[in-house]
Amino acid sequence: MSLKSKTAVITGSNSGIGLGVVRELAKAGADVVLNSFTDRDEDHALAEAIGQEFGVKARYIKADMSQGAECRALIEQAGTCDILVNNAGIQHVAPIDEFPIEKWDAIIAINMNSAFHTTAAALPLMRKAGWGRVINIASAHGLTASPFKSAYVSAKHGVVGMTKVVALETAKEAITANAICPGYVHTPLVDAQIPDTAKKYGMSEQEAIEKVILERQPSKQFATVEQIGGTAVFLCSDAAAQITGTTISVDGGWTAL
């Protein structure tokens, strides 16, 4: 399928799943806007390289997704936003009675509130264009829970709920809103959890991956960033035009358990 003439804005897209989504959408012909809060030379160079590799327009816009005004400014600066992928996210693991308030606030702001702000700013542009796709990267933790991830689980459940509301508010238009719920995908966010998990259980890092991290993923394999990106491309296709307000799990069977 071709997404030529569509512009996609992908938040938090200089690594991991966000970058995988950028690559798959660009491969399908979409112009892409990459984002992070870092604004390094390499972020701009990455966008340029993607543009050259796939023959699409690609640019980088700095915006801190913990700040509502910057989320809205990202969409304003993009100018066009046919496809919005809310992907930026962070994680922190601690018992709820010891959970640092600043971590709670940051996770709720980046993982959930940012999607409210970008969606509010993008919908008028989608309406003007007469077509739009809102794709929220939620998580298996938006449908189930794990101990010690109170902020993350709350934010991801919130994103799943918000997705349904956006779908209902746009149901009569050529706009859809859906959430992709990945299980574990091997990215820097997951990499950061491996050493602590291995230490906590007195295991090697490989054992920690197999026995702890992938414990709830029946396939016993990580999902890939290409599979998440491919799911996003499918949600942009004509075949998915009546799919709205739902979640697509890419989790090796986690939520079937």
Residue 13's nearest CA partner among 29, 1, 2, 26 is 26
Question: Which residues 6+ apart lie within 8 Å of 197 measured at CB?
Answer: 203, 208, 212, 213
Is 57:107 a contact under the CB 8 Å cutoff? no
Q: Minimum distance between the CB of residue 172 and ligand NAD, rounded to whole angstroms?
A: 29
Contact call for residue 102 and ligand NAD (CB under 6 A) = no
In whole angstroms, what is the distance from residue 177 CA to residue 119 CA?
A: 10
Among 17, 30, 50, 232, binds ligand NAD (CB under 6 A): 17
Closest to ligand NAD by CB, 48 vs 105, is 105
Contact call for residue 137 and ligand NAD (CB under 6 A) = yes
The gap from C-alpha 209 to its chain's centroid, in whole angstroms, comes to 22
Residue 184's nearest CA partner among 151, 222, 149 is 222
- CA 70, 72, 77, 78 torsion: positive or negative? positive
Contact call for residue 18 and ligand NAD (CB under 6 A) = yes
Closest to ligand NAD by CB, 42 vs 173, is 42
Closest to ligand NAD by CB, 139 vs 176, is 139
Among 3, 6, 8, 13, binds ligand NAD (CB under 6 A): 13
Rg (CA), the chain: 18
Side by side, the strands of the sheet bearing 7-10 are: 58-62, 31-36, 7-10, 83-86, 132-137, 175-182, 247-250
Contact call for residue 190 and ligand NAD (CB under 6 A) = yes
Q: Minimum distance between the CB of residue 238 and ligand NAD, rounded to whole angstroms?
A: 26
Closest to ligand NAD by CB, 32 vs 88, is 88
Contact call for residue 90 and ligand NAD (CB under 6 A) = yes
Give the 3-state secondary structure of residue 25. helix
Contact call for residue 37 and ligand NAD (CB under 6 A) = yes
Catalytic residues: 152
Among 36, 113, 119, 249, binds ligand NAD (CB under 6 A): 36
Q: Minimum distance between the CB of residue 253 and ligand NAD, rounded to whole angstroms?
A: 15
Give the 3-state secondary structure of residue 148. coil
Run of H or E residues at 35: strand 31-36
Among 16, 158, 229, 252, binds ligand NAD (CB under 6 A): 16
Contact call for residue 209 and ligand NAD (CB under 6 A) = no
Looking only at residues 105 through 134 of this chain, which bind ligand NAD when binding is defined by CB under 6 A?
110-111
Contact call for residue 10 and ligand NAD (CB under 6 A) = no
Residues that bind ligand NAD (CB under 6 A): 12-18, 36-37, 64-66, 87-90, 110-111, 137, 139, 182, 184-185, 187-190
